[in-house]
Amino acid sequence: MTTAAPAVPAGGALWRLAARVCPVTGLTLNRDSERLVRWNAVAAVVFFLVGVVAALLLALTRWQAVHLLEPVWYYRILTLHGLNMLIFFIIFFEMAVLYFAGPVMLGARQPAPKTAWLGFWLMVAGALTVNAVIFMGRADVLFTSYVPLRAHPAFYLGIILFAVGALIATSLFFAAMVVARRERSYEGSVPLVTYGALTAAIIAIITLLHGAAIYIPTFLWSLDIGTVDPQVYRMIFWGLGHSSQQINVAAMVSIWYLLGGLTVGAVVVNQKVSRWAFTLYVLFISMASAHHLLVDPGMGPAWKIWNTSYAMYLAVLASMIHGFTVPAGVEMGMRLRGFVKGRFEWLRRAPWSDPGFSGFWLSLVIFGFMGGITGVTQGTEQINIIVHNTLRVPGHFHVTVVGGTALAFMAVTYYLIPLVFQRRVRFWAMAKWQPYLFAAGISLLSMSMTFAGSFGVPRRHADITFPEAPFTLEFPPVVDVLMAGIGIGGTLAAIAVLMFVAIAVGSVFFGEKVDLAAPGPDARGIPQGILRLPPQTHSAEASAAAHEAGTPGTLVLVFVFLAVFILYYFTNWKVLSMIWKMG
């Protein structure tokens, strides 16, 4: 990808002296951005570790036969898990993605590095504050902190600090884009990956504004200033809470395109289509809170239907488009490299032992097949009646933000370690099957949750034997098996994350330095896409032929997907039609 290095150095380019040009990708990495990517990624991994220890404890508590934690600690650890995973881990990593996809991919400098570091340390301070308050037992309110449940003011303050820091980092992404354009560090339109990151950043700004709108009044309320209506809280909270999931989706899809290119030379089948699909995410984002409120008393059916469907499912359409263009790009890229036999040679011959590729592909499949289908179905106004606050809900989002986003983040880390940290990936043999173990564990966890939820097993529940309740309730025996599935699947997934943390920390702090210009004969710890970067550009003739040949394999995959979707969706309507009449 020699095209990324500009021919004409821009004015005042002192920073270039300290920058380095990546021998593999040709990208110019300025010192500041590189460091910011590193530190944000490291912080992400630290909070991931906290979150996963919590996850293990939770999984072993919901496994009713083990039932590890006392109720108070179950709720406390649940609060801890939600915040460290969904907020701190994910957002720190996203900041790393923004610093990479902005200034680095555009070959520009980092504008205002001091401000960037201020943002980083605000985020660290906020996250540490929140964790401290939770451990002190002053915030047993779960990550949603629905008022009038009340936490110590420092809890809300910590979240506000964290959000301000994230706001700074996100603003600097826009600044970097402006600077890159003004200093002409690239030609043409920004790469698709950067475009995707741009949509993530726009959504992040909208999200953070919702966050301010809800956390500032709630912080004041916790100091006995003013009031907060519980229903209004739920609505605006989910304006923050769900929009932030859309950041995750946009960031994850960007990483799919990035890893597709790096691992197998995936191409962008059509720039217009893919960019439009990203844009659709932005347009309908503010409607995202509705599917959390489908069985709430505060809103009427018209509001619910219009908003839960993001104006007639146009955001779903966007995901279905990426669900086609991402595998189609892989197929077309592989066909261009000569894997043209039959419908599926391109898939069979993909580099399955490269964790960057396997993690990316598993993330795509898990997110699409399991996450997407369950999400749209459960977010249907009426179907939500048989879903709301049962284990079907965490069953759904552990195959979106965990099996999808977190797995994509882990997969891209295997490439960041050599490319940005300039180290070999340690424990390489383990790294090769880490994505598979994680995918298996999280799938078992989620499917068990989903089925248990369809028996009415509640989420966020310390003990479904109801030991001190006035009445008894015994779930059918199959629920015991499903709860064991949560325990076992959760343990497997947690082990896989611990493996990942060991690999990441081991490589970054104790790994062997590697010069990618001359890695030597020892290929251990260097993913195949870095050893031999697949072609990133193709001639006009080859491209025309590739379009002519099309992507017959992907077509089969998406129709299988659609069939499963239709079946699952209408099965749920059928089940709904059998419960009490209600209206």
Partner 1 sequence: MELISGLVPARGVWWRPANRQERLWIAIAFVWCLVLFAMMPFWHLKGGQNPTGIRSRVDPAAFAERTLRFAEEYGIGDDHGVPLVAPPPGAEVYLLGQMWRWYPALQLEEGVTYTLHLSALDVNHGFSLYPANLNLQVVPGYDYGLRITPNKAGEYRVVCNEFCGVGHHNMLGRIVVVPAGTKVAAAATAPGEETR
Please report, as residue ranges, which positions from 44 to 63 form the binding site for ligand HEM (by CB under 6 A): 52, 55, 58-59, 62
CA distances 546 to 259, 271, 329, 334, Å, are 21, 15, 11, 10
Q: What are phi and psi of 423, to 5 degrees?
A: -125, 155
Q: How far is the CB of 52 from ligand HEM (least distance, A)?
A: 5
- Minimum separation from the CB atom of position 184 to ligand HEM (A): 38
User: CB-based burial of residue 540 (10 Å sphere; 0-12 exposed, 13-18 middle, 19+ buried)?
Assistant: exposed
Q: How far is the CB of 204 from partner 1 (least distance, A)?
A: 20
**Nearer Cβ to ligand HEM, position 192 or 493?**
493
> Which residue do the tokens 């999984």 mark?
59
Q: Is residue 477 close enough to count as binding partner 1 by CB under 8 A?
A: no
Given candidates 19, 41, 49, 90, which one binds ligand HEM under the rule CB under 6 A?
90
Question: Is there binding between residue 305 and partner 1 (CB under 8 A)?
Answer: yes
Nearer to partner 1, 64 or 443 (CB): 64
Terminal CA-CA length for the chain: 60
Contact yes or no for 435/412 (Cβ under 8 A): no
Cα distance between residue 149 and residue 553, in whole Å: 52
We find the least distance from the C-beta atom of residue 371 to ligand HEM, in angstroms, to be 12
List 408, 445, 457, 479, residue binding ligand HEM (CB under 6 A): 445
Q: Which residues contact 254 (CB under 8 A, 6 or more apart)?
A: 97, 101, 192, 193, 196, 197, 200
Report d(CA 471, CA 468) in Å as an integer. 8
Q: Mask: binding to ligand HEM, 403-442, rule CB under 6 A, as x and -?
A: ---x------------------------------------
Q: Is there a contact between 344 and 395 (Cβ–Cβ < 8 Å)?
A: no
Stretch 456-495 residues interacting with ligand HEM (CB under 6 A) = 459-460, 486, 490, 493-494
423 binds, among ligand HEM, partner 1, none (CB under 5 to 8 A by kind): none
For partner 1, the binding residue among 22, 24, 25, 183 (CB under 8 A) is 25
**C-alpha to C-alpha distance for 45 and 500, rounded to whole angstroms:** 9
* Contact partner, 2, from partner 1, ligand HEM, none, Cβ < 5-8 Å per class: none
Coil, helix or strand at residue 243: helix
Could you tell me which residues come within 8 angstroms of residue 532 by beta carbon, excluding any fewer than 6 positions away?
A: none
- Which residues, numbered 489-528, are part of the site for ligand HEM (CB under 6 A)? 490, 493-494, 497
Q: What is the dihedral of CA 247, 113, 50, 413, to 10 degrees?
A: 70
**Nearer to partner 1 (CB atom), residue 468 or residue 515:** 468
- The answer for residues whose C-beta is within 8 angstroms of residue 102's C-beta and 6 or more apart is 33, 108, 172, 173, 176, 177, 180, 194, 197
Contact between 31 and 14 (Cβ < 8 Å): no
Tell me: does residue 273 bind partner 1 (CB under 8 A): yes
Taking alpha carbons only, the member of 366, 269, 240, 372 closest to residue 316 is: 372
Query: Which residues share a beta bridge with 28?
Result: 21
Query: Is residue 65 at the binding interface for partner 1, with CB under 8 A as the rule?
Result: no
Q: At what angle do helices 113-135 and 31-62 cross, to 10 degrees?
A: 20
Name the residue nearer to partner 1 (CB basis): 126 or 379.
Answer: 379
Distances (CA, A) of 233 to 90, 220, 236, 425: 23, 13, 5, 45
Q: Kindly state the smallest distance separating residue 130's Cβ from ligand HEM, in Å.
A: 14
Closer CB to partner 1, residue 33 or residue 443? 33
Residues 414-453 that bind partner 1 (CB under 8 A): none
Least distance to ligand HEM from the beta carbon of 358, Å? 17
Cα angle for residues 375, 378, 379 (degrees, 5° grid): 80
Which residue's CB is nearer to ligand HEM, number 490 or number 525?
A: 490
We find the least distance from the C-beta atom of residue 238 to ligand HEM, in angstroms, to be 13
Which stretch of DSSP H or E encloses residue 440?
helix 428-454
Backbone φ and ψ of 491, nearest 5°: -65, -45
In total, the chain counts a number of residues equal to 583
Matching residue, tokens 């970067």:
533
Closest contact distance (angstroms) between CB of 440 and ligand HEM is: 12
Q: What residues between 70 and 89 interact with ligand HEM by CB under 6 A?
A: 78, 81-82, 85-86
- Restricted to residues 267-286, the positions that interact with ligand HEM (CB under 6 A) are none
Q: In this complex, which beta carbon is closest to ligand HEM, that of residue 59 or of residue 370? A: 59
Q: Which 67-96 positions form the footprint of partner 1 (CB under 8 A)?
A: 71-72, 75
User: CB under 5 to 8 A by kind: which of ligand HEM, partner 1, none does 85 bind?
Assistant: ligand HEM
Binding mask 141-180 vs ligand HEM (x if CB under 6 A, - otherwise)? -xx-------------------------------------
Reported as half-sphere exposure (CB side, CA atoms, 13 A), residue 468 has a value of 2
Among positions 401, 416, 503, 514, the unique one binding ligand HEM when judged by CB under 6 A: 401
Q: Does 455 bind partner 1 (CB under 8 A)?
A: yes
Q: Contact residues for ligand HEM (CB under 6 A)? A: 52, 55, 58-59, 62, 78, 81-82, 85-86, 90, 142-143, 394, 398, 401-402, 406, 445, 459-460, 486, 490, 493-494, 497
